[in-house]
Amino acid sequence: MSVTSDMEARLRALMLKALDGDAGAYRMLLDELRRMLRPYFVRRLTPGLAANGDDLVQETLMAIHTRRLTYDRAQPLTAWVHAIARYKLIDHFRRNRVRATVPLEDDAALFARDEAGDTTARMDVDAVLATLPPRPAELIRQTRLEGASIAEAAARTGMSESAVKVSIHRGLKSLADRFGGRSDE
């Protein structure tokens, strides 16, 4: 329900006149509110429930009518009407058991990623690499874990590319011999 300040002033003036007993102003107010509420509800209802928009408009107008004496004359009218309309919409959703759903493809935002396994694996890798001399351990970490190329690792350490390859190969061979398995280098 986007409302301009002119519309707010006009609706509020109609409400104040209606509260003072002007039946014509009250009819005009209800007619204008009906035109505003219909699109408000239709935008928020699914296509299958859009037919309920008119019922929600009527329920809201009835609530406005029965609660009109609770309106605070010093407050904006449209905020008060919006609150009533919102509660009527929520009641409608509850009555019809409407629940927000998320397609399974979009569930990533609903579930936290289990990083406990990642942390454990990272600790295991760090423990294994700690058994190597610092230089081969760092070169293996850079090239195998961080995705750096041999050339990048060589530039970072000031070694030749051949020396980096030999150091990585010897480090992996040492780990394979120590922990069983094979080195792929």
Angle between helices 53-67 and 23-44 in degrees, nearest 10: 140
Q: How far apart are CA 44 and CA 50, in angstroms?
A: 8
pLDDT reported for residue 21: 93
In this prediction, residue 43 carries a pLDDT of: 86
Q: What local confidence, expressed as pLDDT, does residue 118 receive?
A: 65
pLDDT of res. 174: 87
Q: Nearest 5 degrees, angle CA 22-CA 26-CA 32?
A: 145
pTM for the whole thing?
0.51
- Containing 83, the helix (H) or strand (E) segment is helix 77-95
Residue 150 vs residues 99, 125, 142, 161, 175: alpha-carbon distances, Å: 54, 20, 9, 6, 20
Instruction: Return the pLDDT at 176.
Output: 84
State the 10-residue block means of pLDDT for the chain, 185 residues long: 78 94 94 92 80 89 93 90 91 75 53 60 82 90 87 91 92 84 55
